[in-house]
Amino acid sequence: MRKASLLKINEIAYQNKKVIFIGSDLGSGVLNDMKKNLPNQFMMEGVSEQNIIGIAAGLAFEGFIPFVNTIATFLTRRCFEQIAIDLCLHNLPVKLIANGGGAVYAPLGPTHLATDDIGILRTLPNMTIIAPCDSVEMKNLIEASINWPSPMYVRLGKGGDKIITDKKEKFIIGKGIIKKEPQNGLFVTTGVMSQMALEACKILEKENINCGVMHLHTIKPLDENIINKYFPKVDSIVTIEEHSIIGGLGSSILEFCNINLPNEIHKISRIGIPDQFSDQYGNQNSLLNYWGISPKSISLEMKKNLLRFKDN
C-alpha cells in the first residue's frame, strides 16, 4: 500500500509541478526516480518532523501540494500542534501519508504503534482522515486527493494486503462503500479491517447468518447518508477498527448515532484495541489476535450481538 502510494505520487508529480514530496528520514532509496528526475519536487528533510509540517504549510500557502511521508506516530503524536495550527487552522491542502497504521509495526513496540492516530486527529476541525483498504484503493485515493482543499491524513496498512477493491469501483472522498450487502448484521470497518470483516462474513455464512460490510475509508468526514440508509435495515452492527477503542471509528459512529439515529444505538457493538499500551511484539496478525481482533472473534461478537438484539 505504501509502495503504491509513493509510486502514484511520483507519477502525478510528473504531470503536476505543484506536487512536492517531503520525507523525513525514510528508508534508503525511497522514490529514487523522483529524486533523480524531479529534484525540485523531492525533499528529504531529516528527523525534523515538526519543521517538516511547517515547511509543508509554507509551501501550501504558496500554492504547492505537499505530500508529507513518515511514520504515523511521529506525525500524529509529535506534530499534533503543528498539524492543528499550521495545517488545520489555516486549512491548507497538505497530505500526510502515515506509515504503519495500527499494529503494522508490532515488532517495534509501543513507540511505533499508531493505535491512537485517528482519535488524535479526529478532534481537529478541517481535517480529513482516510484509511484505504488496499493498494488499488490507495492509488485511487492519491489521485482524488490532489484537488482536495483541506489537510488530509492517510493511514497506510502494511502492504501486500488482499485486494478487495474492484478496479471499476469509484473512489469518492467521504463516500463509504458497501463491500457486501447486509441482511442480519453489518460490519462497519475502515482500512484493512474490511478484509477481516469479509472473512468473518464467510464464517458466519456457514451458520446461515448473512452479514454485510460497510467500508468507510473516510473516517472524517463521516458518510452520513450511507449510515442513515443501512443502519435501520439491520439487526446488529459491529464496528471493527485497528485502533484504540477510544476515539476512533466506533466512537465516531456512536457520536453520530447519538444525535441522528438514537434508535439504532442499542444495535451497535464496538471492537478495537483495548485502552492499554502494547505489551507484546510478534507481528501485526499475532498482536491483533492478542487484542481480540480476528475473523473468528469478530464473527463471534456479531453472533453475540445478534442474540442480544433478539433478546431485547
Comparison of 82 and 189: residue with beta carbon closer to other proteins: 82
Among 19, 31, 59, 133, indicate the residue that binds other proteins (CB under 8 A). Answer: 59
Least distance from C-beta 22 to other proteins, angstroms? 9
Binding piece for other proteins, criterion CB under 8 A, among 83-91, 193-201, 208-216, 241-249:
83-91
Q: Which residues contact 312 (CB under 8 A, 6 or more apart)?
A: 266
Give the C-alpha distances (Å, rounded to integers) separating 242 from 20, 73, 115, 135, 248: 30, 14, 7, 18, 9
Least distance from C-beta 68 to other proteins, angstroms? 11
Mark residues 32-51: x for contact with other proteins by CB under 8 A, - for none.
--------x--x-xx-x-xx
Comparison of 82 and 278: residue with beta carbon closer to other proteins: 82
CA atoms within 13 A on the CB side of 199: 14
Binding piece for other proteins, criterion CB under 8 A, among 52-60, 137-145, 151-159, 257-265:
52-60
Residue 61 contacts other proteins per CB under 8 A: yes
Could you tell me if 231 and 239 are in contact, meaning their C-beta atoms sit under 8 angstroms apart? no
Backbone angles phi, psi at 113, to 5 degrees: -90, 115
Among 29, 63, 262, 311, indicate the residue that binds other proteins (CB under 8 A). Answer: 63
Q: How far apart are CA 249 and CA 65, in angstroms?
A: 27
The three cell numbers of residue 159 are: 502492504
Among 25, 30, 35, 54, indicate the residue that binds other proteins (CB under 8 A). Answer: 54
Among 5, 10, 73, 82, indicate the residue that binds other proteins (CB under 8 A). Answer: 82
User: Using CA of residue 187, residue 222, residue 57, residue 49, what is the dihedral sign?
Assistant: negative
Comparison of 56 and 97: residue with beta carbon closer to other proteins: 56
Among 90, 162, 202, 304, indicate the residue that binds other proteins (CB under 8 A). Answer: 90
User: Using CA of residue 110, residue 115, residue 118, residue 119, what is the dihedral sign?
Assistant: negative
Among 81, 169, 205, 275, indicate the residue that binds other proteins (CB under 8 A). Answer: 81
Q: How far apart are CA 21 and CA 62, in angstroms?
A: 15
Comparison of 46 and 221: residue with beta carbon closer to other proteins: 46
Among 3, 16, 32, 58, indicate the residue that binds other proteins (CB under 8 A). Answer: 58
Could you tell me if 207 and 236 are in contact, meaning their C-beta atoms sit under 8 angstroms apart? no
Could you tell me if 22 and 34 are in contact, meaning their C-beta atoms sit under 8 angstroms apart? no
What residues line the site for other proteins (CB under 8 A)?
40, 43, 45-46, 48, 50-64, 81-82, 85-86, 89-90
